[in-house]
Amino acid sequence: MATSEDELFEKAAMVRKRAYAPYSKFRVGAAIEDESGRVHIGCNVENAAYPIGACAEASAIGAMIAEGGKTIRRIAIIGGGEAIETCTPCGGCRQRIAEFADENTEIILKDGAGHVRRFSVAELLPESFALKPASQL
């Protein structure tokens, strides 16, 4: 059975609670539905050496690839400190999402008031960088 958008947000909210964010106190959870309907989750994992912390989206993409998923059909993201805000993915994560996206991929964000915003990759990362496979060069 296909995962509903509500279920995807529920999973993102659940994994957000497991985030390791002692420095920023900004917890983020992400849930990806892949091309076969499987769901992969990830949260941000900070580090005392700040720049090496991982974003929730990167963690969820890592889980998807490790479990054999290929394409992001939808990625639901929930983040915030005390209050949940609309957490738009950082620039690096937009590029990470683009790597495993197609023209139908949706990035869906929900704030604490329950407002949902949805974007395509082209909207969040216009004119994005991509390499052609070596066979097409």
Q: According to the binding rule CB under 6 A, does residue 24 interact with ligand THU?
A: yes
Q: According to the binding rule CB under 6 A, does residue 44 interact with ligand THU?
A: yes
Q: According to the binding rule CB under 6 A, does residue 47 interact with ligand THU?
A: no
96: nearest Cα among 42, 56, 57, 38: 57
Residue from 28, 32, 78, 107 in contact with ligand THU (CB under 6 A): 28
- Residues between 52 and 81 that touch ligand THU (CB under 6 A): 53, 55-57, 79
Q: Is 57 a catalytic residue?
A: yes
Q: According to the binding rule CB under 6 A, does residue 108 interact with ligand THU?
A: no
From 65-73, 84-92, 100-108, 119-127, give the range in contact with ligand THU by CB under 6 A: 84-92
Catalytic residues, which ones?
57
Q: Using CB under 6 A as the criterion, which residues of the chain lie in contact with ligand THU when the complex forms? A: 21, 24, 26, 28, 44, 46, 53, 55-57, 79, 87, 89-90, 93
